[in-house]
Structure 1
Amino acid sequence: MLSTTTTRLFAALLVSSVGAAVTGCAVEPDQGGVSEPSVGTVIQPIIRGGGSGTEHDSVVVLTTIENGQRAALCTGTLVAPNLVLTARHCVSNTDATTACAQDGTPISGSMIRGNRVASHLAVFVGTNGVAPDSAVEANAAARGKRIIVDASDTVCNHDIALVMLDRELTSPVAPLRMTAPAATEKVDVVGWGVNESGSLVAARSARRDIPLLGVGPGPYPTNPAWGYGDAEFMTGESACAGDSGAPAFAKGGAVIGVSARAGNGQPSNGNMASTCVGGNAHAVYTHISKFEKLIKAAFDVAKQPLWLEGQVNPWAPLPASDGSSGSSGIMNQGGNEPTPGAQQHSAKADLLGDTSAADDDGEPATGAPAAADDSAAGGCSMSNEPPSDNVAYAAGVVAVVALLFGLRRRFRKDAPPDELPPPRDPYESMM
C-alpha cells in the first residue's frame, strides 16, 4: 500500500498537472455546445474496476521524469522483456486537448510536437497488482532507451508507441493480436490510478467484459461531429484521462488495443473522474492491428521475438533434459520462466524479410516508424548501421588462445542493451 506521504504527493501531482493543462484531463473548446475532455498523461481511473492480480503483472506504470521529478504518468504493457506498448501522447509532447473526426483527421488540438527524451521515461512494475511508488525515481525497474513511433504528426488514429528499455525485466509479458476486434467482442481493461470517486487507490484496477460500442470509423455518442477513426474502437465507461496507454485485453489474454482518450461530454466538476462516468461516457482505443509494421519493427529494434495470440510463448521454459525445470529468470504472462535463447531472435528478419521502410533518399516512407533521438527532446535523426567487423580465424591456435576467444565471444553476446549497435534503418529509434 502507498504511504500517506506518497499518496499526498501523487494527488498533488494529479491536481497540478491538470492545472497546467499539459498532462491532465483538459477541456476542449466548445464544439456545438459540447465540451469533450481528452486523455492526458496523468494516471487516472479504470472506472468501476475490480482487483487485478498476477494475471496482469505485464501492465506497468510509465512515467516521465524531468529534473529528477515525476512530471507525468501513464500505463503501459510489457510485450517483450525490454519493450513496452503504450500511447503516443505518453512519449511525445502533444497538444493539451484532442478532438478528432471519423476520418482520423484532427478537428482541434491533437498535434504532436516532437518526442520526449527516451531516457527520461521510467517504468515501474507492480507485483500482484500492488502499486509501485513511482514518486521515487530510484524505484524504477528500467528506463527508456529508444522511442519507436510512426511518422504521424497527430494522435488522431495514431495514438500508439513502443518504448525499448535499457534492460530486460523479469515481469510477465503479454501477447498481441494482429487482427481487428469484432463488433460483438468484449474486452478487459487494466490500468493504474484513482477510482470513479476520484480517490487514489493503492492497487492496479481491472474492468472485465466491457462490450464495444463500435469499431471505427464512427461518431462520438455525445457529439456526432467528432469521431474515432478506422484504427480505433470505442467502449462505454471504462478508462479515463490518464489510463492513457492502458491495454484492452481480449478474453484470451492478448492485447488488442491501447487507451487513447475518453469523456462523457460534460465539463469537470472538480472530481478527477467526473468526465468519464455515466451513461454517455466513452473511451477510445487504438487497435494495434493497424500498426503491424510499426510493431514488428519495434520488436526487431529490441531484438525480441514477436509473441502473437495463439502462438507458443517464446519465453516459456524448455523441458530440461535432466528432469529439472529449465529456467532463465524471465517470467511469462502465466508466471512461468522462459528460456533466454529466443531473446536474440530478429522479428524483422522473420516477419518483414528484406522489405525496407525507407524511400530511396533514406528518409522514412509515409507511415513508417520515425526514429526518436534521445539526445534532445523532440529531435529526430536517422542513421544506418556500419558494416560489422570481420573476424579472422587462424589455424593451429593453442588451447588457451581458443578459450580466451570463446570468452570474448561470450562477453560480446552478453553485452547489456546499452551496447547495441547504431540503428540499421529508419525503423530504429536513436539512442
Structure 2
Amino acid sequence: MAAIFELSPRCRELHRKLTDFVENDCLPAEEVYESQVGTGDQRWKVVPPIMEELKAKARSLGLWNLFLHKGYPEGPGLTNLEYATLCEITGRCPRIAPEALNCSAPDTGNMEVFAKYGTPAQKQKYLVPLMNGEIRSAFAMTEIAVASSDATNIETKIDRVGDHYIINGHKWWISGAGDPRCKVFLVMGKSDPGNESQYKQQSIVIVEAGTPGLEIVRPMTVFGYDDAPEGHCEVKFTNVKIPVSNIIAGEGRGFEVIQGRLGPGRIHHCMRAIGMAERTLDLMIARVTDPSRRTFGQVLARHGTVAADVAKIRIELNAARLMVLAAADKIDRVGAKGALRDIAMAKVLVPNMLQKAIDLAIQAFGAAGLSQDFPLARFFAGARALRLADGPDEVHIQQLARQELLRGDDIRQKHDAIKARREQIFANNSKL
C-alpha cells in the first residue's frame, strides 16, 4: 500500500495546478455555467460559452486528457493511480471540471476504446477530434425493453448485408446523446445471436450522428435533472446503414471491448465521487459551524448527533478513498481484468458512501439542502444514479461473492491441515 502514496514530482505539480484551477476557475463559474444553459428546446442546442474559456485555460496549463494512462502513446503518460488522485479533484465540481479537462464520461471511455482497438483510419477520424475537444461522443448499450444489467440480454441487431451493417434497436440512458457536439456513437448489439458462446454474440460498431435512421427520441431526467446540454437520451436505430469498416476490433468482440472500457471508467466515477464527498463534507462543516445559525441556543456543531455525523462521514470517506486508490494501483500492476475484484468493491462502496454523506449533509442544511441554492440536491441525484450506472450494486456484489466463494476448497484444506497439526501437537504434548 505504500506505493499508493509514492506519486511522481510531475503528478504532485499537476495536483497543485489542478487544485488551483478547480477552486479558482471552475467552482466560481458554476452559477455562470447554469445561467448560460439554454431554456426549452435550446437546452439541447446551446453550449455554455464559459466552457470553451475553461477548456482553453486548462489546456494551456497542461491539464488536458489526463485520463489516458501511460500505456497509450496518445496520453500524457500518467498511471491510473496518478490520474485517480487528480480525478478526485475534478469531482469537487462535477458539472464543469471534468469536461474542462476533456476528461468527462462517456468521452473518456470512448477515447480509450478508439486508442486501444481503433484502426489508424478510425483514430484519425474520431480519436483525434475527441482528444482535441472538438467533438463529443456517446456509448449506446442500455436498452429499454430488457434488463441491461446483464449485457447478454442486449437485443439490438447488427446484420451484415454485403459491405454494410444494418442496425435496428431501441436504447435509452445514452449519456451525451443530446449534446449538439456529439458526432459519434459507439453502439453495442448482436451480430451473431446464434453463437454458442453468449459472450461472442455481440459487437461494437461506429455510428455517426446524423446517419439516417438514428433518432434521438427524448432526453431522460434523473430526479428531475436533465443534465443539458449533454443529457441521457432515449435513442432508436431503425435500419441504420453503416460500412463494415465501422466495426470496432472485429465481430464478436463486443464483450471484450466493453470490459476493457468499463474497468478504468468505474474507477474514474469512484474518484470523482470521492471529490464530491469531500466538497459535501466541506459544505456541511461550513454550515454547522456558522455562528449565525443556532438552534436551541447553540451552533449546530455543538449538537452531538451533528458532530457525530461529520466524524462518520470522514471515516467512511477516507476508507473509500484508500479502496479506490488500491484498485487503481491494481489496474496498473495487473490490468483491469486482474483487478475486477477490487473494482467491484470500490464501485459498491463509494456511491453508497457518497449517497449517505450527502443525505446527512442535507439533513444538516434543512430545507436549504433540497434547493437550487446549494449543489447537494444535484449531488444526491448523481450519487443515486451512480449506484446503477456501469452496473448496479447487485451485479458487482454477485460477482465479488462468486470470486470469494471460489476460495472455499483452499480454505477448507488449510483449516483441515491446521486441525491435523493441532491434533498432532496435542498428542505429542499429552505424552509429557
Larger radius of gyration: 2
Structure scoring higher RCO (CA < 8 A, sep ≥ 6) equals 1
State the TM bucket, normalised to the shorter chain.
under 0.3
Which structure features the higher share of helix residues? 2
Question: TM-score normalized by structure 2?
Answer: 0.24
